[in-house]
Structure 1
């Protein structure tokens, strides 16, 4: 697997890779790393060269969309997490999108098998890259329930910044997450609790960060520890995730596992993943604000949602996900 994903925190792709890698030794599988480099070009060359080694009984797994420039000499698989640009234009700028599609297309052509993480993502990958839908393996992610339960104490650095009542967003700062509309929804409605945002700038984040910085009702914590993330989720009034597109949607299930009432959209895979969450009727600031108000005022939904969310999240098992990955690895070696 690529060290650029396993050894650096790049959001959901790193969570996925680490959870898989942690459990594979239980199946007798040893994990080695494809070398990274000092820049993206050097990393791409190192990964391509490493995957050209002839290694009996080894499989190379490119876990985050992009892969080798040349066909690997060992059996290979790539996980493509989704294609946001099929539905929205805010994910990347035109040059970034051109490069991304070229690299993902090459990975699909050069690798022996394609995995994705939801049925909607499989539809997107099949349509955009002209791939037989039946040839794509859909393996949903799991959730480590124990990492999000029974944790409600903040570290000293976070405790002094968080009010007693707050709405929460956790995730990368990028246009696809629709944070500008969320921040404006809370800024313009003083009947709503303040918003706490935790996460690091990912890409094309300048406008989102400017809006966050200027808001009088948004508290930006930056990147937080796993323990603080779990505590924030367990103590928030609601977890709000107004994403324009998700290939899977880790934060929604993580928040549910922590017992948070979740308010989100039904874009991309979220229609499969969101389960009992409150679904927003639009993605603009007005619709988001009205949706949050309605969810917080709905006594019947509030009464049961914490337990319903935990029950729903428990359906997503890393052990099951790993079992299906192992079956694919072994099929490529026969």
Structure 2
């Protein structure tokens, strides 16, 4: 690490750091670990109303927030140890954006640096280089696959770019999709391939009746984007003797999908699994089946490969990129194609062994250390673009 970059403070929003079970939460934790690997311990931007688990807003709180959003004064964060404390800043930011169409300014009496927002939030830390992770372009180019309001999301991303915010995304495929959807310049969006930590530190017992290597696994929220209805249809038609385990919470528009899953023989539904249980299932599965219709990254692919589990995934831009030639690719819109691939994974142990070996090699790109190295290079480019490296070097020389 250069002298110039190691002295630049880095912060991260802490909204998702204590959460589990979502891709954004896993990403936030990996980003924090990567910052630790490439810089000093990051400052955490904390909203007291989130961290204290306060009850949902009542009418008075919502009315107060609506009135407070009239003011365009910056909201002050209080520095304490490695934390920048604010109150109601994230929800107020949403209301402020709805009223003004711009980002809510935050300020803190600390030397400026780089702040990472793990999701596109309508806030900015004044005087800092603000980096917003946009995980995919699905609300923009496939709004039928998400409950997110695509028009508002588009307006927010444009406001972020207009405020000189830096957009970072998790794959080159996602970057191209975001640039195309927004019609922005190529330089407005940067790729920093994500990483993860997927070691099974606390293995759990498998559910009754499941043995290692005897079941297929699908993971993720039950929602149309995950293509589970077509996967279950293909599994049923394949006639393989191995159970299909579907692990993940109920999601958007899940009712019909859940009903189809429930009536299909051989399918085991696990709606509530901990992080340790998920990693135990991934380690023990015969293969991960992940024929998603749209992704920005495809976290389960990287997790399975890290754990040495063969992967079946979609022949679409993002998942193909993350698989890196180490997965069995299928047309996600063809039940017949998925069915044939399931049959191959059921009987072809040589194929499974080859996929597992190739997957472990590919997974080296997703370690926290590799993520940290990419992040370090990204930070250096940011500081050079902003002229901060030379400025800090000059100030250090003077002092």
Q: Tell whether the structures are fold-level matches, with TM greater than 0.5.
A: yes
Q: Secondary structure in 1 aligned to 2:333? A: coil
Q: Which runs of 5+ in 1 are unaligned?
A: none
> 1:115 aligned to 2:168?
yes
Judge conservation of contact 1:261–1:306 (CA < 8 Å) in 2: yes
Q: Which has the higher mean CA deviation after the structures are superposed, 83-92 or 261-270?
A: 83-92
Q: Secondary structure in 2 aligned to 1:314? A: helix
* 1:49 Cα offset (Å): 5.2
Q: CA offsets per residue over residues 22-81 of structure 1, 9 Å max, x none?
A: 3434522432124155469863315865734464224332112x2225684432111111
> 1:278 aligned to 2:328?
yes
Q: CA offsets per residue over residues 119-175 of structure 1, 9 Å max, x none?
A: 111101111112211342211112335x05x98x533xx432535621101222222
Q: Secondary structure in 2 aligned to 1:240? A: strand
For 2:239, the equivalent position in structure 1 comes to 190
Q: Secondary structure in 2 aligned to 1:33? A: strand
Residues 240-255 of structure 1: pairs in structure 2 closer than 5 A: 240-255=289-304
1:162 to 168, 187, 210: 210
For 1:17, the equivalent position in structure 2 comes to 28
CA–CA distance in 1 between the matches of 2:387 and 2:288? 43
Q: Tell me which protein shows more strand as a share of its residues.
A: 2
CA–CA distance in 1 between the matches of 2:19 and 2:159? 24
For 2:106, the equivalent position in structure 1 comes to 51
For 1:220, the equivalent position in structure 2 comes to 269
TM-score (norm 2): 0.72
1:4 to 3, 9, 15: 15
Bigger radius of gyration: 2
Q: Which runs of 5+ in 2 are unaligned?
A: 1-11, 51-55, 66-87, 95-102, 389-399
Tell me the C-alpha RMSD between the 2 structures: 2.9
TM-score (norm 1): 0.85
> 1:304 aligned to 2:354?
yes
Judge conservation of contact 1:34–1:50 (CA < 8 Å) in 2: no
> 1:32 aligned to 2:32?
no
For 1:92, the equivalent position in structure 2 comes to 146
CA–CA distance in 2 between the matches of 1:281 and 1:33? 42
Q: CA offsets per residue over residues 260-296 of structure 1, 9 Å max, x none?
A: 1111112231111113111113433333212211343
Given the superposition, is the C-alpha separation of residues 87 and 293 from structure 1 closer, same or farther in structure 2, using an over 3 Å criterion?
A: farther
Query: How many correspondences in the alignment?
Result: 327
2:134 to 80, 86, 91: 80
For 2:196, the equivalent position in structure 1 comes to 143
Judge conservation of contact 2:93–2:123 (CA < 8 Å) in 1: no
Given the superposition, is the C-alpha separation of residues 54 and 68 from structure 1 closer, same or farther in structure 2, using an over 3 Å criterion?
A: farther
1:61 to 116, 123, 130: 116
